[in-house]
A = this chain, B = another copy of it.
Amino acid sequence: MNVSIIVIGDELLIGQVTDTNSGFLARTMRPAGWKVLKVEVVPDDNAAIRRAVTEALDRADVVLTTGGLGPTKDDITKQALMDVFGGELYRDEAVEANVREVVGKRGIRLNSLTADQALVPSSCRVIQNRLGTAPIMVFEQEGKTLVAMPGVPFETRGMFTSEVFPMLLRRYTPDVALRSDVIQAVDITESDLALRLASWEEALPPFLHLAYLPQPGLIRLRLDGSHIDPAVLDAEMDRRRAELITLVGDNLFADSDITPAALLIKLLASRGLKVATAESCTGGAVSAAITAIPGASEVMQGAVVSYSNDVKTSVLAVDAKAIEAVGAVSEPVVRQMAAGVARLCDADCAIATSGIAGPGGGTPEKPVGTVWICVLTPAGSQAWCFHFPGDRERVVGRAVMTALLRLCKALK
């Protein structure tokens, strides 16, 4: 099935909010072989919404819209859809009951604006939104389906997974099998990897395709395939994936799309090891990345963010003389931070970071972007000095990624 997604909202076009719904929808539909042809972001404007909807219905079998269904005056999607599909507003009792229930659960009072969420176009079928007050509306036209969903990511994600997509899957049968496999490479540039893979890539059959997704410190390779016969697809994908893994060789980081934090937890858990972090420039972001993964509590003991030098010496027992002699952003300090937090939190492994994230704080000897990272395992500790380019966010992001990758590598 071919899908077109329309994301509605002025806040997206002025860059105040980032659209994450379309990516979620694409990821959810892909395993079933549904393909997103296009994502369009349009303003809360009747003509723009109508034009986008009309064009999308021409192009795709299924059109998904998100946003513009709130109770306030700036949300006009409902009217624009009636201008395309016809019908008139009526008060739907089942929607009203659902709105009352949702509002009741939140422990707040139902006011008239929210009650008006029960007004729905007579030209659509409603899917009750158990997670919010905006009803989900399903319009049909000439064998094509448009589903209008709210913009709140929590509501869209929950309802799309539990009800909207199952409904669409019942309605349409997939016409082609798709498969995407990801493998990940480290310690190599994108173009060096591309040169190594060039002749192999050249020899791929026309229904397979390789894409490079470089991130700072990590390159994800995605092998995409589509074929009418799932058995042919699987056999060819299995063979090419194995060849690819062989070619990546020592640069292989992972043979799936697992994140560095999730892989780290897996490696630690399989060896019965515990971890702690001592963070200066990353400010808790390494710990937050690890604990964002369900199951982190099995291996994560804790963390100390030693933003001030006092906390480095008093909590982590870093030698004050070392800080005075070579500065907080230095090899001895980062090694002592790792050892200190491992001792304090009774952990077998540790990550420590100390650097200058900017924009201030740089010196000629230690410019903004200088970051010392130490990883500690039962086999000992290693420390490296990096010079990461970019602004504060990018330096911290690079430091977090690098720290996780290095501890994974030390544990393999």
A residues whose Cβ falls under 8 Å from a Cβ of B: 10-20, 22-28, 30, 35-44, 48, 70-74, 106, 108-109, 111-114, 131, 152, 154, 158, 180, 189-192, 194-195, 198, 201, 209-214, 220, 222, 224, 277, 279, 282-288, 290-292, 294-297, 300-308, 310-311, 314-315, 344-346, 358-361, 389-390, 392-394, 396
Contact = CB atoms under 8 A, between A and B. Distances in A.
Contacts of A283: 284, 287-288, 290-292, 296, 300, 303
A393 B292 contact: yes
A15 B22 contact: yes
B11 A15 contact: no
Copies in the complex: 2
A361 B298 CA distance: 12
Given A18-B20, A37-B48, A285-B292, 5 more contacts: A15-B22, A15-B25, A73-B194, A108-B192, A310-B346
Nearest to A211: B74
A152 B389 CA distance: 13
A217 to B, nearest CB: 13
Contact of A41 (B38, B201, B344): B38
A300 B305 CA distance: 10
Contact of A72 (B12, B191, B394): B191
Contact of A307 (B36, B39, B302, B394): B302
Nearest to A305: B303
Given A11-B213, A13-B39, A303 B302 contact: no
A14 B180 contact: yes
21 contacts: A15-B24, A16-B27, A17-B213, A44-B211, A70-B212, A74-B209, A108-B189, A111-B191, A283-B296, A283-B300, A283-B303, A284-B285, A284-B286, A284-B288, A284-B291, A284-B303, A292-B396, A294-B359, A297-B361, A314-B344, A315-B315
Contacts of A114: 189, 191
A352 to B, nearest CB: 14
Nearest to A213: B11
A218 to B, nearest CB: 13
Contact of A70 (B42, B190, B198, B310): B190
Nearest to A392: B294
Given A23-B18, A305-B302, A346-B310, A72 B194 contact: yes
A42 B19 CA distance: 15
A279 B74 CA distance: 38
Given A20-B18, A108-B189, A210-B73, A12 B39 contact: yes
A283 B300 CA distance: 10
Shortest 6 CB-CB distances between A and B: which pairs?
A283-B291, A284-B284, A15-B23, A284-B287, A15-B26, A303-B305
A54 to B, nearest CB: 14
Given A27-B15, A41-B38, A301-B311, A394 B154 contact: yes
Nearest to A312: B302
Contacts of A19: 18-19
A44 B12 CA distance: 23
Contacts of A279: 284
